[in-house]
Amino acid sequence: MHILEEIREVAVSKNVNFLIGSGCSADAIGLMSKYWVEAKSRNHPELPEESVGGAHCEDCKKLGNELLLKEVCEISEIILNPSMGEGQKLSDVKNVSSSYEAFIWEVNSLMNRMNSRQNPKNINVFTTNYDLFIEDALDKVSKTEIFVINDGARGYFKRILDSSNFNRTVSYRGPSNNYVDEIPSISLIKPHGSVNWEKTADEEIEIRAEVVDNPIVVNPDGHEPRVTFEENYFHDMLRIFQMELDKPQSVLFVIGFSFQDEHIAKMMQRALRNKELNVYIFCYSNNTEGAIRKNLKCGSSDIKNLKFILPGDIQSDGPMGKRESGLTLGAVTNILKSGGK
């Protein structure tokens, strides 16, 4: 069986999970290294560029994280209100938004092709991104498609994050109560927080419909393992990630994520011991696999339930009718489509 056929088959027959990384939003926001380099040029122009991530440049990382968060907030404001953007930035946001919207359309399509007698019609979307691209895509697609958006919140006017809500399912009962049909559900789980998360006076997390002044996020500064362990809400999100990967007959599709987050890399190493789990990592370029293997500490080992998908693995005509130069979110979305080539 060709790898693309295998991917399409497991996407409708397993417990499906996606892990979305910063690479999926990079055309609008950029990767962390961009902001660290900018911070270094401001604070220490005399230092070589390779020193940015070093311990001797902690102030570069601090400023870089502040610049990143500021940019994510600005981009998320444009996502919610396009009139706030202009020029190339607005164009980039629209293009990335379109990619996410197409992705959510396909996720919904996958759920509708699932057999609920085998597995619940639920797909988990985990993301370490704290922008609002996925939320915006879910909102747009839900206006015409029937599915439940589960972001873990309870409440109506004041929506409070509660991880126990990720365990719920919703069903439709026929007019005469003669049948019950499960409604497809997409769970959005954000282990590193979001720019619309705000801490209340009761130390709870309120999920707002806007970008907040002091968002609750995990900065990519090397202290992520400690922060996610100490804060219950972050720890709960990662616990759900681990539990889902430990389930039998599960699959994880990784897009735009290189496992530089050490705590998530360790969780993946542990999860791969579950031989019923299949992991497919879509590499942006043919050179990406080596870096990801290094981060996962698996070297050149042949781990049977871990597969790397490279642009070179895609047929020359590509799933979009052209050769794929990089496995972007849009390219992976087309790979998942039923009947794609």
Inside any domain, residue 341: no
Inside any domain, residue 202: yes
pLDDT for the residue 172: 76
At residue 65 the predicted structure's pLDDT band, cuts being 50, 70 and 90, is confident
Of residues 87 and 46, more confidence is placed in 87
How many angstroms separate the CA atoms of 242 and 229, rounded? 14
Segment of 60-69, 142-151, 218-227 carrying the highest mean pLDDT: 142-151
Whether the predicted pLDDT of 79 surpasses 70: yes
Give me the phi and psi of 47, to 5 degrees please.
Answer: -80, 145
Supply the DSSP string of 238-274, one letter for each residue.
HHHHHHHHHSTTEEEEEES----SHHHHHHHHHHTT-
* 3-class secondary structure per residue, 274-307: CCCEEEEEECCCCCHHHHHHHHHCCCCCCCCCEE
pLDDT for the residue 321: 44
- The count of residues in the chain is 341
At residue 2 the predicted structure's pLDDT band, cuts being 50, 70 and 90, is confident
Inside any domain, residue 223: yes
In this structure, of 52-56, 86-90, 150-154, 311-315, the range with the lowest mean pLDDT score is 52-56
pLDDT for the residue 50: 56
Q: Indicate left, alpha or beta for 56 from its phi (over 0: left) and psi (-120 to 50: alpha).
A: alpha
CB-CB contact of 19 with 124 (8 Å): no
The domain of 65 spans 3-336
Mean pLDDT of 179-186: 84
Whether the predicted pLDDT of 320 surpasses 50: no
Mean pLDDT of 315-321: 45
Segment of 54-58, 104-108, 260-264, 334-338 carrying the highest mean pLDDT: 104-108
What Cα–Cα distance (Å) separates residue 337 from each residue in 148, 194, 288, 334? 21, 29, 24, 5
Mean pLDDT of 221-249: 79
Mean pLDDT of 135-139: 98
Inside any domain, residue 147: yes
The pTM of the full predicted model, rounded to 2 decimals, is 0.90
Of residues 56 and 183, more confidence is placed in 183
3-state secondary structure of 160: strand
Mean pLDDT of 196-217: 95
CB-CB contact of 272 with 278 (8 Å): no
CB-CB contact of 188 with 151 (8 Å): yes
How many angstroms separate the CA atoms of 131 and 259, rounded? 19
Give me the phi and psi of 213, to 5 degrees please.
Answer: -70, -40
Whether the predicted pLDDT of 315 surpasses 70: no
Q: How many domains is the chain built from?
A: 1
**Average pLDDT value for the chain:** 87
At residue 123 the predicted structure's pLDDT band, cuts being 50, 70 and 90, is very high
At residue 57 the predicted structure's pLDDT band, cuts being 50, 70 and 90, is low
Whether the predicted pLDDT of 244 surpasses 50: yes
Of residues 171 and 209, more confidence is placed in 209
How many angstroms separate the CA atoms of 294 and 96, rounded? 29
Q: Map tokens 């031989």 to a residue.
A: 275
Helices and strands (H and E) in the chain: how many: 10, 15
Whether the predicted pLDDT of 242 surpasses 90: yes
Whether the predicted pLDDT of 202 surpasses 80: yes
Tally of CA atoms within 13 A in the half-sphere of 36 that contains its CB: 18
| Closest of 219, 225, 195, 192 to residue 207, by C-alpha | 195
CB-CB contact of 213 with 220 (8 Å): no
pLDDT for the residue 60: 74
The string of pLDDT tens digits covering residues 88-106 is 999 999 999 999 999 999 9
Strand 205-207 with 197-199, pairing:
antiparallel
Tell me, what DSSP letter sits at residue 133? Answer: H
